[in-house]
Amino acid sequence: MKFKECSALVTGGAGGLGGATTRRLFELGVGVVIFEPEFERAKALADELGGRAAPFAGDHNSEDDVLAAIEETKKLGVFSINVNSAGVAIETPATATADGTPHDMGTFREMLDLHLMGPFNVCRLSAAAFAANAPDEDDQRGVIVNTSSTAAFDGQGRQAAYAAAKAGIAALTLTMARDLAPIGVRACAIAPGPIWTPRLAGAPQSLLDELTSNIAFPKRFGNPEEFASLVEAILRTPFLNGQTIRLDGALSTPLTQFAAKSAG
């Protein structure tokens, strides 16, 4: 993949994981469209980077918005990279409580829309656009990287909706890789454990200690730049396909309610 000839669409591209990814791709010479629901957030990062970085405001569940963003991405190079890292914390209840209150279905649907439906919408439209690209020496036309979570495998109390969405991303990965093989498009996902992003800055120390207590090594939060490095490694390794890669310091996750307070 000749990065300086490529362009990428990064959803959540001005956030913690997405912002680090946008910066790394830009450093590699890739033209990047920073896709965010809020234009000013995307514009601030694009203005900082300059050159082949462009902001775009849209909803990743909207076909029209994503198609328009893809057209903007094509203006920056050969559109061949899609990284989906959009996500926000959504407080979720237990499946049912002792007083007989069931989980709210609106919240469940909101979580699936944000973390599963939206990414798949971007994936399908990006892959369709990749199909028109000239193949490289490996017959590759494009690469998709989604964001899963360790919650896909170790969902905690009050994480039913979030874990279901992130497990959906993990399940989607191999299927999509096999589905897109005939057109030369790879698909992988990264499943982060506790990563230090701005949303954790105001969290109580007790929560921070709990989140890192079961990380084997290194004994700390991961950082967004490590996520971005893994995105780069996926792009540089054509034989890596259909995999959901844990990025979690060999985390072991005992039963806890803490994770529900910091879905990310």
Residues assigned a catalytic role: 162
DSSP designation for 195: B
- For every residue of 11-44, DSSP letters joined together read ETTTSHHHHHHHHHHHHTT-EEEEEESSHHHHHH
Tokens of 158: 């009050």
Q: Distance between CA 190 and CA 258 in Å, rounded?
A: 22
Distances in whole angstroms, Cα of residue 75 to Cα of each of 5, 8, 164, 222: 11, 11, 36, 34
Residue 177: CB atoms within 10 Å: 19
CA 157 to chain centre: 23
